[in-house]
Amino acid sequence: MAAIVSEKLLDWYDEYARDLPWRARPGEPAPDPYRVWLSEVMLQQTTVAAVKPYFEAFTARWPTVEALAAAPEEDVMAAWAGLGYYSRARNLVKCARAVAELGAFPEVEEELRKLPGLGAYTAAAVAAIAFGQRAVVVDANVERVVARLFNLTDPLPGVRKVIRACSDTITPETRAGDFAQAMMDLGSSICTAREPKCLVCPLANHCRARAEGDPASLPVKAPRKAKPVRQGRAFWIERDGSVWLVRREGQGMLGGMRSLPDNGWSARGDGADSAPLEGEWEAAGLVRHTFTHFALELSVSRYRGADRPSGEGEWWPLDTLDEAGLPTLFAKAARLALA
């Protein structure tokens, strides 16, 4: 089964491969490892459509890993704003600096895993796609394809070891990078989470779930636990066409990012209700935002007065607020305050 699956899938990929800015077309030389690595980091828990403009902006501003390594971390964090999961951006800078010190990306999976922020998936993807190494690359799309192909009915996350072992059996010795990308493309366009297009799937005749059960029901996911809800408060302080922004602590939730002052909700769960200035505050409304492990209800308060907050911060002109690199949560709060 393994040889015929990889052969059919690669034939399909040669004809239907997606045209993406970080990819090389089938038959072309492998892409720059920097572009492969950058795209894979950006694509973690993020859609291709969302990543494309960020990838193009990053590679225009920092065209090489050495250029990114030399960039101030705060500039990278600001350019990342809106992509979420901001620890990825911090690790991006650390990894770029490590690679620049080495002189190049390592070519083998084991050495790639030693770089900051490179887990099993990213290291395997870079090894296979950029360097042509045989590596087993398993993302969410590949999980879905393999679970259906082998009719794996045990629930996630427990079945992941079996999925990886099955993926290993069908990964070819040559064109491993194209095979990995073909699996990703198949999962995103044909073997989709809902209503898989089995009639046009190149692997339909080899899919055990199609022959024995219901492909759309796989992979089986454990019931989601309800996320706890935190409450917090953000403060909009405006004066002479500018708003007061602070920079968050370098580690922790949204670390290193510019933001509105808040009441510490990220550190203590429910922040103490302390405002940065005494005086008249008015409620601007409520922003809801979902993080990985909890949901947040952030009330936004506007200040009426001429006092300057104590502590470190900066007045940022409202007409260039889009350039401040506010994370999505505080961009939402800013839009609410300005409305």
Which residues are part of the catalytic machinery? 40
DSSP state at residue 156: B
Nearest to 297, CA basis, from 285, 305, 306? 285
Q: What is the Cα–Cα distance from 281 to 301, expressed in whole angstroms?
A: 6
Nearest to 26, CA basis, from 105, 129, 107, 168? 129
Read off the tokens for 285: 């409304």
CA angle 26, 32, 33 (to 5 degrees): 105
Radius of gyration of the chain (CA): 23
Q: Kindly give, in sequence order, each residue whose CB lies less than 8 Å from that of residue 266, ignoring residues fewer than 6 positions away.
A: 232, 252, 253, 254
User: Given the structure tokens 């199609």, which residue do they identify?
Assistant: 210
Instruction: Give CA separation, 280 vs 9, 99, 246, 300, 306, in Å.
Output: 65, 51, 21, 14, 11
Nearest to 258, CA basis, from 177, 336, 329, 164? 329
